[in-house]
Copies of this chain bind each other. A is one copy, B any other.
Amino acid sequence: MQDRIHTADAEPGDDVTVAGWVHEIRDLGGIAFLILRDSTGKIQIKFEKDEMDEELVDTGLGVSRESVVSVSGAVEEEPRAPTGVEITPESVEIVAPADPELPLDPSGKVDADLSTRLDNRTLDLRKDDVQAVFEIRSEILRAVREQFREFSCTEITTPKIVATGTEGGTELFPITYFGEEAFMNQSPQLFKQLIAGSNVERVFEIGPIFRAEEHNTPRHLNEATSIDFEGAFCDQNDAMDVVEGVVKAAYEAIAENCADELEALGLEDEFEVPEEAFPRISYEEAIERINATGELDEQLVWGDDLPTEGEKALGDDVGGHYFITDWPSEIKPFYIKDHDDDDQLSTGFDLMHPRMELVSGGQREHRHEKLIEGFEQQGLDPEQFEYYTKMFKYGMPPHAGFGLGGERLIMTILGLDNIREAVLFPRDRQRLSP
């Protein structure tokens, strides 16, 4: 199919073959138009009924919407056509007919609920705005990886089948692995740390994570994309610098390379690249500011986790991305290091978007004996994690990192209502197929 060109490449004066989907047929009586759509856009095919071969006219105008057709003919200028050109067809071939009863209308004129859309993703993705989300997703992945490489990171791949979870047995999907019990990994945490402790030093991974959470909300997925970083000889401030760079790189790449997609989403005017440094607000300041908003029924006290309404109030107050730093040690996982001068205060941080948490990170506990204590305090048996802890006996440098939720990043950048709109085939409590 080497001779097919994209509709966007059809230039007046050329004889071309285009192929794509029948987007619409407009019959005005003596003249009629078939609007053909492909990945690059749409083009008008003109049928002058009385002047053209009857069979050609019947074929071209009798075909059902969303059928795949191949059209050969001459491209001419036509200022009244949507793209300024049209094709007068010499031949029309029906490559793949479509059932006239479509479960979903790809022209977007008839709304469909999310469940119907996800059941029929192939049709759903024929809509400009849905396609735009996934073209932007692809661009975000590209830009994020490029930015990690700018930060001297090596890309790694860690296993998704594991013997033990990162934080114990909760929220793990069990697998049968050749008769043995195993799990789908909920985070590359332990593995990326093991690599940061080698000569590779700085690593990133973008890959799937699996969480058997019962939550069924517009911001939770049971299979998600995690954007992970870990760096030796890094502290929490270095990790915050990296994540800030990565998030900004995603926005910048969209502004630079996705003008058409932003327009398809109606975001061309409101899309903004965050220019300012993301403020780094301590947990202590965060609860003071939340209390000062008066949005909560009860005042927060030191040691409380931040409720969703509290995060929302602070997000409105700050008005953009911000970090919350220096959390109480108790709230953060055991592998997050405490401050050297205050063991009630951890080096953990979150990166917040006004709508939700995007990132969790911090400097890691790199001292073997402290790590073992941490497992015990968490109620976990350190023996089960010996494959991990033993490497901390052989020169484990201080290191820091983070995990950034890929779909949450896309969702907040594009203002999507539901995280499922950022995934081709989401997995949740109800949805296992397609």
Within 8 Å by CB of A38, from B121, B199, B223, lies: B199
> Could you list 11 A-B pairs, sorted by A, with CB under 8 Å?
A39-B232, A122-B194, A138-B154, A142-B149, A142-B155, A159-B424, A159-B427, A161-B427, A173-B177, A175-B175, A195-B424
The answer to whether B2 touches A162 (Cβ under 8 A) is no
Interface residues of A (CB under 8 A from B): 1-2, 4, 19-22, 37-39, 66-68, 95-99, 102-103, 119-128, 131, 134-135, 137-138, 141-142, 145, 149, 152, 154-164, 173-178, 180, 182, 184, 190-191, 194-195, 197-202, 207-208, 210, 212, 222-223, 225, 232-235, 237-238, 366-367, 387-388, 390-391, 393-398, 423-427, 429, 432-434
* CB pair A175 B177 closer than 8 Å: no
Indicate whether A157 sits within 8 Å of B191 (C-beta atoms), given known contacts A122-B197, A395-B66: no
Shortest beta-carbon distance from A125 to chain B in Å: 3
**Cβ-defined contact, A233 with B199, below 8 A:** no
Q: Is the CB of A434 within 8 A of B208?
A: no
CB distance from A310 to the nearest CB of B (A): 30
- List, in ascending order, chain B residues with CB within 8 A of A201's CB: 38-39
B233 with A19: CB separation less than 8 A: yes
Counting chain B CB atoms within 10 Å of each CB, which of A38, A66, A175, A190 scores highest? A175
Q: A175, B180: Cβ atoms under 8 Å?
A: no
Closest Cβ–Cβ distance, residue A190 to chain B (whole Å) = 8
Q: Is the CB of A131 within 8 A of B184?
A: no
Distance of A109 Cα from B155 Cα, bound (Å): 28
> Does the CB pair B367–A199 fall under 8 Å?
no
Rounded to whole angstroms, the CA-CA distance of A209 and B163 in the bound complex is 18
A148 to chain B, nearest CB (A): 10
Task: Decide if A177 touches B432 in the complex (CB within 8 Å).
Answer: yes
Q: Are A158 and B96 in contact (CB under 8 A)?
A: no
Contact partner of A131 (CB less than 8 A), chosen from B98, B103, B200, B238, is: B200
The CA-CA distance from A96 to B366 in the complex, in Å, is 8
Q: Which residues of B contact A141 (CB under 8 A)?
A: 155
Other-chain residue from B155, B173, B200, B396 in contact with A125 (beta carbon distance below 8 A): B200
- Look across to chain B and name the residue whose beta carbon is closest to the beta carbon of A141: B155
The answer to whether A434 touches B191 (Cβ under 8 A) is yes
Which residue of B is nearest A138, CB measured? B155
Specify which of B98, B163, B390 is in contact with A432 (CB 8 Å cutoff): B163
Complex: chain B residue closest to A208, CB-CB: B160
Known contacts A208-B157, A387-B433; is A395 also within 8 Å of B177 by CB? Answer: no
